[in-house]
A and B are shown apart, each in its own frame.
Chain A
């Protein structure tokens, strides 16, 4: 059903989504934990900045990332290797683009943890790091799964940022959504439908159990 090029694009998409989610969890968990336990205008500003990718059109975001990460950008000017048109660049772009989808559920999940449980853990001899790993993480488990799955699915469907930043290089930055776009523009609708169907099925397989799990953990 899918040609080798489409399978390759699908592979790049899945890999990109996985690496993005891992990266976002690695940065997002401490960030959300820190934010969930704070108040005031500083927190409001940070939360607003995290939510920005929801508001900015993806192509606009992609364009500015292109300027930032390209060979004429400020990062290249200070001697860093240009990340535009590479898989690494897509990871950076996707992490920014999917940031709110992962971090918002994490913040909510951490905020919903009963403070008394954390206090109790402290009186039982658990230090701050210990409390994070042994009380906060298990307590926010369903939020973590939700955030990871939403981030994964959102990255899988990402188009505008990747189109701008990636340059659609086969095997490197051509993801499934861009392959679909190319098929549509080239009037190859059969291939476009097949690849779209696969994306939809993968997303459903991920999302349905997540929402079932979420409903169960709520009741």
Chain B
């Protein structure tokens, strides 16, 4: 699957909205399709699934052509090996959770079948819900069922359309953790539509930034996060994404030691981690900058860094993007502090991260 690629050229116009998008990306990992409401993210997803009858262009996944309107080819949705999870789960209310999963299982060609209904329910931790009716489920439970149902068909591409949008804060946190775990365990390529930076930070490998029906920017997640904040709503902070491995866990203090390319982090963790791979997220507001190493601080994590860019956000604040090894860590500080520290692009500095702010 490593060499597999998803290529598409999509054109569609509807009223004063026009979609014009060319894409060629590695069909692996999680690709976030990011942009403001109405920019056409969902239309792209629907086009990939064959749910937009008026779209023109080409779609091909790993050698299989799904759409080629120039040659009059359009593989109908039910013959494309895609899984689709909608904003609000489109489960069938006339049957149970098991009935919903069974629906998918019976329509999946034998060659694409992987886990059966019970194994998939086990894998997605919904076994206890199997005999419940859909109206009795919480929003988060519904989305888990919807994801399990989509995975049962053995999709070669999984499309998630803002799966957290309809959930409350607790439900979001829970499902986000679930998706993060799923990301590590499955090798199905995912296209994930969202306009939440945090979801991108926690889940994505690669980011596509859309605006008004066009692709405006793309790149690996670490590179893109800073730029996304310009497109994100003001309350969304800039986040650092750190892929780390756990090297030690101290049960007495409840602290895990995690290594990444820029150094070592101490992260509070009550119980030993299940996997050794972890993605850590740090909000830029919880990152501070010193010019020299302060050894007597309560802040555990101090990392050597170089200032790569300084974005002035408004009169009072700047976002200082610091490179730690290969990882970008943005710090949100006052413009006064930045000037007092005499920070400039290329300045060596130390970023301090409160351990409790790492999630």
Contact = CB atoms under 8 A, between A and B. Distances in A.
A126 interface: yes
Contacts of A139: 92-94
Interface of A: 114, 116-117, 119-127, 130, 134-135, 138-139, 141
21 contacts: A116-B88, A117-B90, A117-B91, A119-B77, A119-B90, A120-B86, A120-B90, A120-B146, A121-B78, A122-B50, A123-B49, A123-B83, A123-B153, A124-B78, A124-B104, A124-B107, A125-B109, A126-B78, A126-B103, A130-B78, A138-B94
B104 A125 contact: yes
B51 interface: yes
A122 B103 contact: no
A125 B90 contact: no
Contact of A123 (B88, B93, B94, B150): B150
A124 B153 contact: yes
Interface in B105-123: 107-109
A139 B78 CA distance: 19
Nearest to B109: A125
A185 B186 CA distance: 80
Interface of B: 46, 49-51, 76-80, 82-84, 86, 88, 90-95, 103-104, 107-109, 146, 149-150, 153
A116 B90 contact: yes
A119 B86 contact: yes
Q: Which of A125, A130, A134, A141 neighbours the largest number of chain B CB atoms within 10 Å of its CB? A: A125
A4 to B, nearest CB: 45
Contacts of B95: 138
A124 B79 CA distance: 9
Contacts of B107: 124-126, 130
B107 to A, nearest CB: 3
Contacts of B49: 119, 122-123
Contacts of B86: 116, 119-120
Given A125-B107, A126-B107, A127-B78, A120 B84 contact: yes
Closest 10 CB pairs of A and B: A125-B107, A116-B90, A122-B77, A120-B90, A138-B94, A123-B84, A124-B104, A117-B90, A122-B78, A127-B78
A134 B95 CA distance: 11
B131 to A, nearest CB: 18
A201 to B, nearest CB: 32
Contacts of A119: 46, 49, 51, 77, 84, 86, 90
Contacts of A126: 78, 103, 107
B78 A125 contact: yes
Contacts of B46: 119
Nearest to B152: A124
A122 B150 CA distance: 11
A126 B150 CA distance: 13
Nearest to B101: A124
A123 B92 contact: no
Given A117-B90, A141-B94, A124 B51 contact: no
A119 B51 CA distance: 7
A155 to B, nearest CB: 28
Nearest to A139: B94
A114 B104 contact: no
Contacts of A138: 92, 94-95
Given A121-B92, A123-B78, A124-B149, 5 more contacts: A116-B90, A120-B92, A123-B80, A125-B79, A125-B153
Contacts of B109: 125
Contacts of B94: 138-139, 141
Contacts of B92: 117, 120-121, 135, 138-139
A202 B41 CA distance: 55
Contacts of B80: 123
A92 B51 CA distance: 39
B115 to A, nearest CB: 15
A125 B109 CA distance: 9
A144 B146 CA distance: 27
Contacts of A117: 90-92
A48 to B, nearest CB: 27
